[in-house]
């Protein structure tokens, strides 16, 4: 079990997360078909595939943040739809304005998620309760900040639970953004696709650190 992630660990973790999203493509398609246009799984899987390729092709670096920046830019540039910008910025904003570091510990990762959350909320204007990925990301980022002193694995376990609860909570919500908005109360009972992706990403981070 790891308590800090060096450059290679970060690469391996992003690859692991990418593979889990790619594996979940049919599930994400199903979730987005219920209240969206069904493209979320295709977009996320495609973006994650590109992220893996760009990480493999990276120039050697001593800065672990660069790995996230590279992955995020690959997603931003390859994915269409709302989620390209949103999930691309999740990695990019997390790494932004951080002095280079060869190893990231729990507190560094918690800080990354706080920055991602702030950037996504500023850009997309969604708040908790609007039935978006923010409903999973915000509680997860808060859980990370609250549990970062317990180490990487405990922190990620808390964040995974928070993301899962947040994802579940979207079932009861009306959508304020995206395609589900036009469904009004017909969106009730269905979870948000982006929140589902957030949960898969954080769950996979926990699995990576645990194994």
Binding site for ligand ADP (CB under 6 A): 32, 36-37, 39-40, 43, 81-83, 86, 120, 124-126, 132-134, 177-179, 192-195
Q: For residues 5 and 193, which CB has a smaller minimum distance to ligand ADP in the complex? A: 193
- The C-alpha atoms of residue 127 and residue 138 are separated, in whole angstroms, by 9
Separation of alpha carbons 45 and 23, rounded Å = 8
Q: How far is the CB of 184 from Mg ion (least distance, A)?
A: 17
The entry of ligand ADP, Mg ion, none near residue 120 (CB within 5 to 8 angstroms by kind) is ligand ADP
* Minimum separation from the CB atom of position 73 to Mg ion (A): 21
Q: Which is nearer to ligand ADP, 155 or 195 (CB)?
A: 195
The answer to whether the CB of 169 falls within 8 A of the CB of 130 is no
Q: Of these partners, Mg ion, ligand ADP, none, which one is at the site of residue 116 (CB under 5 to 8 Å by kind)?
A: none
Q: Residue 134 has which token pair?
A: 């923010």
Cα pseudo-dihedral 171, 175, 177, 178, rounded to 10: 70
Q: How far is the CB of 86 from Mg ion (least distance, A)?
A: 11
Return the structure tokens found at 29: 């398609």
Least distance (Å) between residue 126 CB and Mg ion: 15
Question: Which residues are registered as beta bridge partners of 161?
Answer: none
Is 140:163 a contact under the CB 8 Å cutoff?
A: yes
Q: Which two tokens stand for residue 125?
A: 């204007």
Residue whose beta carbon is closest to Mg ion: 36
Contact letters for Mg ion, residues 33-72 (x by CB under 5 A): ---xx-xx--------------------------------
Nearest distance, CB of residue 50 and Mg ion, angstroms:
18
Taking the C-alpha atoms of residue 31 and residue 199, their distance in angstroms, rounded to an integer, is 13
| 104 bridge partner residues | 5
Please check whether residue 166 is in contact with residue 155, taking contact to mean a CB–CB distance below 8 angstroms. no
Between 8 and 182, CB nearer to ligand ADP: 182
């Amino acid at each position: 079990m790891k308590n800090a992630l060096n450059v290679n660990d970060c690469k391996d973790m992003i690859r692991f997360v990418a593979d889990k999203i790619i594996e979940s493509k049919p599930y994400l398609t199903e979730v987005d078909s219920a209240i969206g246009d069904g493209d979320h799984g295709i977009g996320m899987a495609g973006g994650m595939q590109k992220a893996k390729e760009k990480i493999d092709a990276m120039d050697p670096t001593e800065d672990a943040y660069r790995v996230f920046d590279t992955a995020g830019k690959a997603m931003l540039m390859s994915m269409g739809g709302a989620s390209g910008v949103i999930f691309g910025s999740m990695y990019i904003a997390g790494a932004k304005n951080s002095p280079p570091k060869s190893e990231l510990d729990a507190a560094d990762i918690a800080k990354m998620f706080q920055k991602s959350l702030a950037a996504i909320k500023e850009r997309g204007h969604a708040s908790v309760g609007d039935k978006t990925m923010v409903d999973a990301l915000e509680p997860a980022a808060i859980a990370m900040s609250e549990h970062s002193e317990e180490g990487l694995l405990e922190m990620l376990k808390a964040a995974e639970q928070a993301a899962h609860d947040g994802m579940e909570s979207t079932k009861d919500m009306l959508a304020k953004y995206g395609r589900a908005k036009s469904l009004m109360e017909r969106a009730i009972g269905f979870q948000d696709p982006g929140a589902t992706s957030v949960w898969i990403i954080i769950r996979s981070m926990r699995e990576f650190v645990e194994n």
